[in-house]
């Protein structure tokens, strides 16, 4: 990416983390893809780089570099292993951002330095067997009992769920009102009695990333473990999703980038009909479309990240970035595989791995369908607000 769009500091970070990831993570990524083991050692490996604390203020052990830098990191992780990127992001972004934004000072002091050092892993628990895009349909509940809440329910497809030390769990605490006003976030530790990691799902791709089914049976959570306002959990969820979607956009761009680079290289080496296949428009036009889409996706990602870093609402922009980037990742990886032809469908190249990994991205963190809904909703809301302002200006003044 040209320095027209990145600051010198951002470009320096990009170069440093790219070199580190290519050197240190590539061998691990290959082993994880082969064995499907959880890459817990990656957290201690990343500790010296500071990339586990990009969203954590310095007073709590982080370096507070912001969402743009974190999205750059996500792209570089996605370029080597979207699976490892999922594991790291679930802790350093999905769990960490709500704790930074809504945690008490005591919660932050106790937990965030450990996460920034890679000593503890976090996850966020929203999705349930019957709750996906409809967060307000949540069934997990928590009832106050003295100085504790008693938590009951189940969550599924939770990245890091069975590996996490800390779980940010969302539950209904006031069933008499709409979930928007009756949901609360709780900090749950895996050692609490009643918590059970029931299984990990076997995934189509993203080998090594553990997507877990969890149950909570009469888990007693101290009242001081409430994160954010009581019955204000829906706000916590919505605030987190904008950052999560921006990070997924970065990861998707990285996933697409590696496949694209392999397609370009292969097309200049593969000879058919006495010429390299790069000279056939059926191939070279695919390369052009890939390059165009990736650059557009990256700009959308940077816009969303900069808005969040400035404290602006970015629901529409983060949704646009995630939607366009993940669909680009699917299209680029499949087109790259097409350029490679039969060899692309084998393990000789890792394009097939990136194609499988990319396919999850239009599902997790908000499906492409729900993102289109959010985008059109924001477009019409902005239109109506603009229309009201216009009508207010043009309305004739009353006669004196």
Catalytic residues, by residue number, are 244
* Rounded Cα distance, 215 and 194, in Å: 8
* Rounded Cα distance, 278 and 275, in Å: 8
Q: How many residues does the chain have?
A: 400
Burial 297-325 (b: 16+ CB within 10 A, else e): bbebbbbbbbbbbeeeebbbbbbbbbbbb
Picking from 246, 221, 249, the residue whose alpha carbon sits closest to that of residue 358 is 249
Looking at the DSSP bridge assignments, the partners of residue 169 are: 125, 186
Put residue 358 in one of left, alpha, beta given phi > 0 → left and psi -120 to 50 → alpha: alpha
Picking from 169, 126, 89, the residue whose alpha carbon sits closest to that of residue 366 is 126
- Count Cβ atoms below 10 Å from residue 343 Cβ, excluding itself: 14
- Cβ within 8 Å of residue 33, ≥6 positions away: 81, 83, 207, 208, 350, 353
* Rounded Cα distance, 197 and 216, in Å: 9
Concatenated DSSP letters of 158-194: EETTTT-SEEEEEEES-TTS-HHHHEEEEEEETTSTT
* Rounded Cα distance, 370 and 319, in Å: 9
Please measure the distance between the N-terminal and C-terminal CA atoms of the chain and give it in whole angstroms.
60
């Amino acid at each position: 990416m040209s320095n027209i769009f990145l600051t010198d500091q951002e470009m320096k970070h990009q170069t440093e983390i790219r070199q580190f990831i290519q050197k240190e993570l590539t061998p691990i990524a290959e082993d994880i893809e082969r064995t499907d083991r959880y890459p817990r050692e990656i957290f201690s490996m990343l500790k010296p780089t500071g990339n586990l604390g990009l969203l954590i203020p310095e007073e709590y052990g982080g370096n507070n570099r912001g969402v743009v830098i974190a999205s750059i990191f996500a792209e570089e992780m996605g370029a080597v292993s979207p699976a490892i990127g999922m594991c790291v992001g679930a802790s350093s972004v999905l769990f960490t951002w709500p704790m930074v934004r809504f945690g008490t000072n005591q919660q932050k002091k106790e937990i965030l330095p450990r996460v920034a050092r890679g000593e503890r892993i976090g996850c966020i628990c929203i999705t349930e067997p019957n709750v996906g895009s409809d967060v307000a349909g949540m069934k997990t509940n928590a009832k106050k009992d003295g100085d504790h809440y008693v938590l009951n329910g189940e969550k599924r497809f939770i990245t890091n769920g069975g590996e996490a030390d800390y779980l940010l769990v969302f539950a209904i605490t006031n069933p008499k009102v709409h979930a928007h006003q009756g949901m609360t976030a709780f900090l749950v530790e895996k050692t609490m009695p009643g918590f059970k990691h029931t299984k990990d799902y076997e995934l189509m791709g993203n080998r090594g990333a553990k997507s877990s089914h969890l149950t909570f049976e009469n888990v007693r959570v101290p009242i001081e473990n409430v994160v954010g306002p009581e019955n204000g959990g829906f706000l916590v969820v919505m605030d987190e999703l904008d950052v999560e979607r921006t990070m997924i956009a970065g990861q998707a761009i990285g996933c697409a980038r590696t496949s694209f680079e392999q397609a370009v290289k292969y097309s200049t080496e593969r000879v058919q009909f006495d010429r390299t296949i790069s000279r056939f428009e059926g191939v070279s036009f695919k390369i052009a479309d890939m390059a165009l889409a990736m650059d557009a996706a990256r700009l959308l990602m940077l816009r969303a990240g900069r808005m969040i870093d400035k404290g602006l609402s970015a629901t529409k922009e983060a949704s646009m970035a995630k939607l366009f980037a993940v669909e680009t990742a699917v299209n680029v990886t499949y087109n790259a595989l097409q350029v490679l032809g039969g060899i692309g469908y084998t393990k000789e190249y890792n394009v097939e791995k990136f194609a499988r990994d990319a396919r999850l991205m239009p599902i997790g963190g908000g499906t492409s369908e729900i993102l289109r809904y959010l985008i059109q909703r924001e477009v019409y809301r902005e239109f109506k607000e603009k229309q009201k302002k216009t009508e207010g200006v043009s309305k004739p003044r009353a006669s004196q």
